[in-house]
Structure 1
């Protein structure tokens, strides 16, 4: 006679625990996949699988015109500045859904996250480009000839409201203070100890320095007239800041202790995004109007190479393993992928109309985030 054996059914609690463990394992696996997030002013936020180097999905943010972006420490929240809706969208990276919107002000642009706070620049007096900017023959925004005029000109930045920096507590998503800056505030960087926040002001040709937590002003560094400073990055050894001057096609090296300019270096046309490579041996500068990423020695600042890319390439990021450089090119509607050592082109990832900024998780160095 066949024997029927009856096995006891596992308790429901055990089943629930087993399911939870499976889900947790799946989530951990998904979180382990390196990703890049790219703001596309016309499409939303593109998500790139860095193992496959393919665009896998797009997070919709409405008709916001997303530009600046940054991630929280564990990569679960992506913060995106939206120029058309004047807010900061907080996206759950697991679902791609906007879970919070923080009202900022007109024309929010650049976003940095540090120690549980978000710092967002916005420009009440600007429309999103240099004064008098018109597309040149290459399709890039080129400042008009009088963009660097002295105060008193009809289109001078001094006659417009200054930019501001909203400081947001990421625990409750409240704007705890707004710091008045210069005109057309662009890049944000922090001192090595995190006590100071430095911002570039395109319209004033200055770098403003504030206490990071309180927003209290410390000092203002005046740069060359008409230079329009945009990108800023601290050197890995903490000794210098590098600031790009878009209209003069140069970058300056500023002593991090005295805040004096110690070196000026010529670049190709229209330098914007700037970052040191993962090991600090090379400095990379996106010269947008000449359609190249320039490479310089990270210590002497001697020119090393010019790497052709697409049109209106402002921001870039290294992959988390440091092996590739990814350049967001707005007028080419694509991200250009380069070998970080040989600088050879590897791939173009399209379907990213008016690509603006790019960051990765795990976090890596680039023109927007630095770690």
Structure 2
């Protein structure tokens, strides 16, 4: 649990993903409007592929990288030396309703092969258990859209406005029977069944974002950024088990370790990765990581807010 190496990937990287074989790291580089394919062994960028304005989220499945882009978002990092108030950090201007795209890149070809048109300010991406559908959260119009995996055709649109505002994180349960989406501006999450019917709304701490079940599927974890907590729920009834006080700033994304013994949270505004012991649900270590860490994944693939056991 120490930093052992550092290497360049692109300008202002955010979303991050690993190929199933662990050969390539893929990052979404905001200021480049592109992704980088980095050879993990050599640490060299083998290819830079343009994907669209403001790329943010990366998910990889079946040799394809899916990258959410946000052409209407005007959120930007502070200039060197500039400080934002905590309540202003990472806020976006949602006035523009330009439709966003999910760009699809064939990693073997090293090129973008098609786009999926989603809602304005597309954010999270998830796949159904059977791999036939892509599920996307759209912040600015408060929808979750379901698309065909192969064609990208829109299958269903779910409005979350009856339950809250600004959907961000989206996660399928290990058995494929439930989906959970965090609603950042309403301080809650919703539970949907496998057909995307609403089952339950559950209150959380302030500004929930990254979410993931554990590998067994009996617990749900939610990173509540502005409450500085990692919240744990029992999936039998979504009752709260514990609020783990993280005390890091802007802890958005996390991953389990491959052995499921620890959780690692990337805490961007406190420049650290926080390690939580899964057994006693308590912070066991803080690892300094300069540069506003945004996301984190592990290899061999483990479940987390940005990845799934494959």
Matched, 1:293 2:230: yes
2:208 matches 1:271: yes
**Matched residue, 1:253:** 191
Could you tell me how far 1:237 is from its partner in structure 2? Answer: 1.8
**SS of structure 2 residue aligned to 1:106:** coil
Q: 1:124 aligns with which of 71, 96, 102?
A: 71
Alignment of 1:332-371 (within 5 A): 332-371=270-309
Map 1:138-217 → 2, pairs under 5 A: 140-141=89-90, 156-157=94-95, 159-217=96-154
| CA deviation after TM superposition for structure 1 residue 307, in Å | 0.7
- Mark the CA change 1:184 to 1:142 in structure 2 (over 3 Å): closer, same or farther: closer
Aligned Cα root-mean-square deviation (Å):
1.8
- The answer on whether the counterparts of 1:250 and 1:271 sit within 8 Å (CA) in structure 2 is yes
Q: Secondary structure at the match of 2:215?
A: coil
What is the SS of the residue equivalent to 2:226?
helix
After TM superposition, the score normalised by the length of structure 1 is 0.78
Q: Measured at CA, do residues 139 and 328 of structure 1 come closer, stay the same or move farther in structure 2, by a change above 3 Å?
A: farther
Q: Distance in 1 between matches of 2:74 and 2:111?
A: 25
Match of residue 314, structure 1, among 252, 263, 268: 252
By how many angstroms is 1:224 displaced? 1.8
Of 260, 267, 285, 1:329 maps to 267
Among 42, 45, 55, the alignment partner of 2:3 is 55
The question of whether the paired residues in 1 share the 8 Å contact of 2:174 and 2:215 is answered with no
SS at match of 1:84: helix
2:42 match: 95
Q: Which moved more, 1:207-216 or 1:159-168?
A: 159-168
**Contact kept in structure 2, 1:317 and 1:358, CA below 8 Å:** yes
TM-superposed CA distance for 1:160, in Å, is 3.2
Distance in 1 between the 2:85 and 2:280 partners?
31
Secondary structure of 2:31's aligned partner = coil
Unaligned runs of 5+ in 1: 1-52, 144-154
Once the two structures are TM-superposed, the CA of residue 298 in structure 1 deviates from its matched residue by 2.1
With over 3 angstroms needed to count, the CA separation of the structure-2 counterparts of 1:204 and 1:160, relative to structure 1, is closer
Which residue of structure 1 aligns with residue 80 of structure 2? none
For residues 336-365 of structure 1, give each alpha carbon's deviation from its aligned partner in whole angstroms, at most 9, with x where no partner exists: 001012112111111332110000011100
Q: Answer yes or no: is 1:72 the counterpart of 2:19.
A: yes
Q: Deviations over 1:55-95 (max 9, x none)?
A: 01111124x10000111111010000000111000000001
- Determine the C-alpha separation between the residues in 2 that align with 1:370 and 1:100: 25
| 1:305 aligned counterpart, secondary structure | strand
Q: Relative contact order: is structure 1 or structure 2 higher (C-alpha 8 Å, sep ≥ 6)?
A: 1
The secondary structure found in structure 2 opposite 1:353 is coil
Further displaced range: 116-125 or 261-270? 116-125
Residue 243 (structure 1) aligned to one of 169, 175, 181: 181
Runs ≥4 in structure 1, deviation > 2 angstroms?
Answer: 134-143
